[in-house]
Structure 1
Amino acid sequence: MSNSVLIRQEGAVRILVNNNPAARNAITAGLYTELPAALAAAAADPEVGAIVLTGVGDFFCSGGDLNQLATRRQLAPAQRREKLEGLHGMIRAIRDCGKPVIAAVEGGAAGAGVSIALACDMLVVARNAFFSVAYVKVGLTPDGGATAFLAEFVSRQVLTELCLTGDRVPAERLHALGAVNRLSEQGAALAEAVALAARIASGPTRANARIKALCHHAYGADLEAQMALEAQLMVESQADDEAAEGIGAFLAKRTPDFALLRGKPNAP
């Protein structure tokens, strides 16, 4: 292991830290394998209810390593595509993780760092941080799903501006556009993200996973398709021990204790 990802636990929250401080947490080859593995392990661990993804130090991720990207000119197109799939596989692992993933962004996110942040389910970002789809500045085009994620909340005109200029976009503008859930003071993004993750982790784990699936599906589905999935997952949820605990607690005017069910198989 290259220690590209540092891992620690705070209660029911698993914290994954991109660890390349010498290069403002630029993406390393190790990250392509270690981050998906760490996400999979967190998703499978019954003691984990939510995940926080951040960068070591005062910067989230500066994107791809340009020294490495410069060497890809010598590769055949198929080889360049194979290298790119490392990034895309990592983005899919974040997006498709069975447990909620919250990004804690200090300093900024550039290039593929933007994709990593936006692949998360929620973002907590320091007010002084910035985002930059900076590919155009070095003669490259966006990857990692950056244009797809940005298109979920900005117009085509704004998307084109962000990609053609590569300008730094302040966190407060992205918050106003709807891409950022919470703004924090400088240095406080991780603490606020962990607090949010802990709140979510105290909830019903299986229902959380179904809700995450619904939210992802909503952006590519028409009403009928979305309602069909809602019906399917509601039918599953109604038979779940989590619903029995939640409804029972509500009727008894007490706080539900979903932690008691964490890791236990659902009763038939």
Structure 2
Amino acid sequence: MDTPHRITTGVDGDVWRVVLDRPDAGNAIDLALADALVAALADRPASTRAVLLLGNGPRFCVGGDVAGMAAAEDRPGFIGALADRWHDAVRAVVEAPVPVVAGVQGAVAGAGVGLVGACDLVVCARSTKIRPAYGAIGLSPDGGTSWALARTLGAPRALELMLTDGTLTAAQAHEAGLVARLADDESLAEAATALAHQVAAGPVRAMVRTRGLVRRAATTSLYDQLDEEARLIVESAEDAEAAEGIAAFAEKRAADFRNAP
């Protein structure tokens, strides 16, 4: 089915496929696309166990709609409203109750970099170029881009990239940890889809707890992290996923997490 304005969605088994669908503009982010992404994530069917985020066309996402910025009578107001709504979309990705897998290709620029950084697992086509691009139009970053780059590259490399309007290759992004896997261009969608289905077959509630632990680790003391790990492993142990996983291990069979209520 189509979520109105800029996004196409559909169920693929137990994966909720969400596609940025503004290919003629490089899937540039305008208010309609931001609204549609928030709606698409909210509309995820309860039967699906992972989100797969893709971009239609040769470019995954070139960032904010610069043409719209240029035409705006109140440019600061327009950009502020767009940033606020896009941040709602990024939060919706980060807070998704199931893992989010992305497949990216061609170009990832501006706020598209922050979107990639918000996803749990990213498969990147080998020819992809990743560029913050804000400096080229005299803007500072938004969309979580500064967070994603500082978190993966470290402050010195992140600043060098952003202050010189530099570009990362897919290989550099993979080496730095911004993306999890590389795939040949022609097999990107297939690789990202396979990974999404692999994740969807796993203990998704435990995965979401794991995601939270990993994201908080950089800003949490070891002792606080130990306390949180202890709390969450007990929460996981009370979950039917753990009952199934432990029983499957003891019985020397594959776990069936899909049917763990």
Q: Alignment identity in percent?
A: 37
CA deviation after TM superposition for structure 1 residue 234, in Å: 0.9
2:158 aligns with 159
1:120 aligns with 119
- Judge conservation of contact 2:26–2:62 (CA < 8 Å) in 1: yes
1:66 aligns with 66
Report the AA paired with residue 57 of structure 1: G
Q: Deviations over 1:191-241 (max 9, x none)?
A: 111111111110123212212222222222111221121111111111111
TM-score, normalised to structure 1, is: 0.91
TM-score, normalised to structure 2, is: 0.93
Report the AA paired with residue 68 of structure 2: Q
Q: Distance in 2 between matches of 1:73 and 1:219?
A: 41
Q: Distance in 1 between matches of 2:42 and 2:217?
A: 24
Report the AA paired with residue 5 of structure 1: I
1:257 aligns with 256
SS in 2 for 1:125: strand
Q: Distance in 2 between matches of 1:69 and 1:257?
A: 49
Distance change in 2, residues 1:89/1:253 (3 Å): same
SS in 2 for 1:158: helix
Q: Deviations over 1:75-100 (max 9, x none)?
A: 5x667534421111111111111111
1:39 aligns with 41
Q: Distance in 1 between matches of 2:201 and 2:215?
A: 22
- Judge conservation of contact 1:106–1:187 (CA < 8 Å) in 2: no
Q: Distance in 1 between matches of 2:8 and 2:240?
A: 34
Report the AA paired with residue 57 of structure 2: G
2:223 aligns with 224
CA deviation after TM superposition for structure 1 residue 61, in Å: 0.3
Report the AA paired with residue 212 of structure 1: R
Q: Distance in 2 between matches of 1:34 and 1:212?
A: 25
CA deviation after TM superposition for structure 1 residue 52, in Å: 1.1
Report the AA paired with residue 219 of structure 2: G
Matched ranges for 1:66-105 at <5 A: 66-72=66-72, 74=74, 80-105=79-104
Query: What CA RMSD, in Å, does the superposition of the two structures yield over aligned residues?
Result: 1.7
- What is the aligned counterpart of 2:20 among 18, 21, 34? 18
Gaps of 5+ in 1: none
Distance change in 2, residues 1:94/1:148 (3 Å): same
Gaps of 5+ in 2: none
Q: Distance in 2 between matches of 1:11 and 1:153?
A: 32
Distance change in 2, residues 1:141/1:225 (3 Å): same
CA deviation after TM superposition for structure 1 residue 67, in Å: 1.8
